[in-house]
Chains A and B, each alone.
Chain A
Amino acid sequence: GQNIDQPTEMTATEGAIVQINCTYQTSGFNGLFWYQQHAGEAPTFLSYNVLDGLEEKGRFSSFLSRSKGYSYLLLKELQMKDSASYLCAVRDPLDYKLSFGAGTTVTVRA
Chain B
Amino acid sequence: DTAVSQTPKYLVTQMGNDKSIKCEQNLGHDTMYWYKQDSKKFLKIMFSYNNKELIINETVPNRFSPKSPDKAHLNLHINSLELGDSAVYFCASSRMVGAQETQYFGPGTRLLVL
Please give the residue numbers on chain A whose beta carbons come within 8 Å of chain B beta carbons, in ascending order: 30-31, 33, 37, 41-45, 48, 50, 85, 87, 89, 95-100, 102-103
User: Are A48 and B98 interface neighbours, CB within 8 A?
Assistant: no
The reply to whether B41 and A30 form a contact with Cβ atoms under 8 Å apart is: no
Contact with A along B35-69 (1 / 0, CB 8 A): 00000111111001000000110000000000000
Q: Give residues of chain B (74-97) contacting chain A, Cβ–Cβ below 8 Å.
A: 90, 97
**When the two chains form their complex, are residues A43 and B105 in contact, meaning their CB atoms are under 8 A apart?**
yes
The answer to whether A42 touches B102, judged by C-beta atoms less than 8 angstroms apart, is: no
Instruction: Please give me the 9 A-B residue pairs with the lowest Cβ-Cβ distance, nearest first.
Output: A42-B105, A45-B102, A100-B43, A96-B98, A96-B97, A43-B105, A103-B41, A42-B107, A102-B42
Looking at A42, A97, A100, the one whose CB has the most chain B CB atoms below 10 A away is A42
Q: How large is the interface on B (under 10, 10 to 19, 20 to 34, 35 or more residues)?
A: 20 to 34
The residues of B with any CB-CB pair to A shorter than 8 Å are 4, 40-45, 48, 55-56, 90, 97-98, 100, 102-108
- The CA of A85 and the CA of B40, in the complex, are separated in Å by 12
Is B106 a contact partner of A42 (Cβ separation < 8 A)? yes
B108 surroundings in chain A (CB, below 8 A): 41-42
Q: Assess the B102–A48 pair: CB atoms within 8 A.
A: yes
- A95 with B55: in contact, given A42-B107, A103-B41 (CB under 8 Å)? yes
Report chain A residues within 8 Å CB of B103. 45, 98
Q: Which residues of B contact A31 (CB under 8 A)?
A: 100
The reply to whether B102 and A30 form a contact with Cβ atoms under 8 Å apart is: no
What is the CB-to-nearest-CB distance from B24 to chain A, in angstroms, rounded to a whole number? 14
Q: Kindly list chain A residues whose C-beta atoms are within 8 Å of the C-beta of B105.
A: 42-44
